[in-house]
Amino acid sequence: MKKLHTADENSTFIINSIQGRLSAYMILVGGVFLVFAPLFLLLIVSLKGKTEYLMNGVYSWPENFLNLENYITAFIEGRFAIGFWNTFLLILFSVPLALFLGTMLAYALGRFNFKLKGFLFAAFLIPTFIPGMTVTIATFTLIKALGLYNTMFAGIILYIGTDIMQIYIFLQFINQIPIALDESAQIDGASKFRIYWSIILPQLKPAIATTFILKVLAIYNDFFTPYIYMPKVRTAATSLNSFAGDRMADWPLMSSAIIFIAIPTILVYVFLQKFIIGGVTDGAVK
């Protein structure tokens, strides 16, 4: 007799047949394999010495699982310490600023009525339809004209730009805060900035946290901005590229360098996985 699977609240689709369920699992496990296989191969290659790799190739366990020689060489020769440090500074200066500007903008748009409001909304929305890569040449000349080329300010100033996604997410939260809170604070003599600071901002915490983590990931992973606008300021991503230069054939060494750059965001993801996926969907679906 066929066992009918009943719907639980998480499953919209019901696959009844055993073959169907089996193929579903096989496809998903196949996907998991495709995600992990290259990463796993990199990991075992990174633990092999040069001669060991030449002798045994990819598919063997490393002779010594604690052989960190490649990692040390990559870290020193790739000057990753400077790269990580500069990336850290970029994040430190641009993310809080971006969050400030974004929340203030959302507060002004969400709590005040003024003539140009609709116009401003449109003004912030339109650039999302301008494909970023197409205007690179012009942005480059602007950065040069401002004297920011090859300085960290180029990155900071480009990263603090507010995007419409952020504004929407913040606005949704602001609209849920009862306006009576603002009014009673105002009666108590609080300034607008005071209201923003002690009423609005604390209520925005969840949205700020999500935006914070997504911004950090985006800046850490960004290659284009530092490469084009500040090639002399090494970041994590660009230092991997310059390290690769003439070492491309030395795969054990390259593997460890790749893992070095990949590991920080993977670690963050392991701990904040639900949070990150939630943030990405919130931003994209709305």
Partner 1 sequence: MERKSDRMTIVGFLIVPVISLILFSYYPLFKLFQISFTNWNGMSTSMEYVGFKNYLDIFSQRELFEVFANNMAYVIMAVIQQFAGLFLAILLSSNIKMKNTFRAILFMPYIINGVAVAFMFNYMYDFTNSPINMVLNLMGLKPISFFSMSYASNFSLAFISFWKYVGFTMVIYLAALQSISHEIYEAARVDGASFFQTIRLITFPNIKKVFQISLLLSFNGALQVYFEPFLITKGGPNGRTATFITKTLNLAFDYGKYGKAAAMGVVLLIIIILITLIQKMFLKEGGA
| Measured distance CA(266)–CA(271) in Å, rounded | 9
Given candidates 15, 18, 55, 122, which one binds partner 1 under the rule CB under 8 A?
Answer: 15
| Measured distance CA(149)–CA(26) in Å, rounded | 51
Contact 182/195 with Cβ under 8 angstroms?
Answer: yes
Q: Which 61-90 positions form the footprint of partner 1 (CB under 8 A)?
A: none
CB atoms within 10 A of CB 146: 12
Given candidates 61, 81, 132, 206, which one binds partner 1 under the rule CB under 8 A?
Answer: 132
Identity of the residue, 66 or 137, whose beta carbon is nearer to partner 1 in the bound complex: 137
Residue type, 60: S
Residue type, 273: Q
Identity of the residue, 15 or 76, whose beta carbon is nearer to partner 1 in the bound complex: 15
Given candidates 196, 225, 233, 234, which one binds partner 1 under the rule CB under 8 A?
Answer: 196
Per CB under 8 A, 102 contacts partner 1 = yes
Stretch that binds partner 1, among 63-71, 100-108, 169-177, 203-211 (CB under 8 A): 100-108
Given candidates 3, 134, 188, 246, which one binds partner 1 under the rule CB under 8 A?
Answer: 134
Given candidates 175, 184, 198, 273, which one binds partner 1 under the rule CB under 8 A?
Answer: 273
Stretch that binds partner 1, among 66-74, 98-106, 175-183, 202-210 (CB under 8 A): 98-106
Q: Shortest distance, CB of residue 258 to partner 1, whole angstroms?
A: 5
| Measured distance CA(57)–CA(24) in Å, rounded | 34
DSSP 2: P
Given candidates 19, 51, 118, 138, which one binds partner 1 under the rule CB under 8 A?
Answer: 138
| Measured distance CA(141)–CA(37) in Å, rounded | 43
Q: Which 140-179 positions form the footprint of partner 1 (CB under 8 A)?
A: 140-142, 157-158, 160-162
Stretch that binds partner 1, among 3-11, 70-78, 175-183, 204-212 (CB under 8 A): 3-11
Q: Shortest distance, CB of residue 246 to partner 1, whole angstroms?
A: 14
Q: Which residue has the tokens 């020689």?
A: 69
The 3 state secondary structure assigned to 106-158 is HHHHHHCCCCCHHHHHHHHHHHHHCCHHHHHHHHHHHHHHCCCCCCHHHHHHH
